[in-house]
């Protein structure tokens, strides 16, 4: 069992309040009347265990959770290969570079590319 609590009765949404797509996704899910457990990564950055679990649930390597085209990444870092632990530290200290929103419901986890993707969960 992972650190992230899940339920078939609610959607856990990791998102950035600074992201237009994330705000639209959240609004879409709320309009459907679904119970949402909101985790704004800018206010409550995920810890290392949660980041590793999110990557595992999505079937990704931790480095694939980093949006290397995000201005916060390109302004601070150069393209480079890091260890998983280093990628995790980068996300913890710069949560805005994490790809999001990520929706979890029960055993299903998706990386939301468009706000309507939330319907797949």
**Element containing residue 14 per DSSP (H, E):** strand 11-15
In this structure, what token pair is assigned to residue 21? 């797509």
- Pair type for strands 102-105 and 11-15: antiparallel
User: Which residues span the domain enclosing 18?
Assistant: 11-120
pLDDT value, residue 1: 47
CATH, residue 79? 3.40.30.10
How many other β-carbons are positioned within 10 Å of the β-carbon of residue 74?
13
Q: Is residue 4 one of the residues assigned to a domain?
A: no
Give CA–CA dist 39/59, Å, rounded: 21
CA-nearest of 100, 99, 97, 101 to 89 is 97
Give CA–CA dist 42/120, Å, rounded: 25
pLDDT value, residue 113: 95
pLDDT value, residue 59: 97
pLDDT value, residue 52: 97
Q: Is residue 69 one of the residues assigned to a domain?
A: yes
- pLDDT lower than 50: segments of the chain: 1
């Amino acid at each position: 069992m992972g650190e992230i609590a899940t339920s078939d009765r609610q959607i856990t949404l990791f998102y950035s309040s600074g992201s237009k797509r994330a705000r639209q996704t959240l609004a879409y899910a709320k309009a459907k009347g679904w119970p949402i457990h909101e985790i704004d990564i800018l206010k409550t950055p995920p810890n290392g265990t949660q980041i590793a679990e999110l990557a595992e649930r999505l079937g990704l390597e931790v480095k694939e959770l980093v949006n290397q085209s995000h201005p916060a990444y390109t302004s601070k870092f150069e393209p480079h290969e890091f260890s998983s632990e280093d990628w995790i530290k980068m996300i913890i200290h710069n949560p805005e570079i994490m790809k999001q929103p990520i929706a979890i419901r029960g055993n299903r986890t998706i990386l939301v590319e468009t706000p309507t993707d939330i319907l797949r969960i």
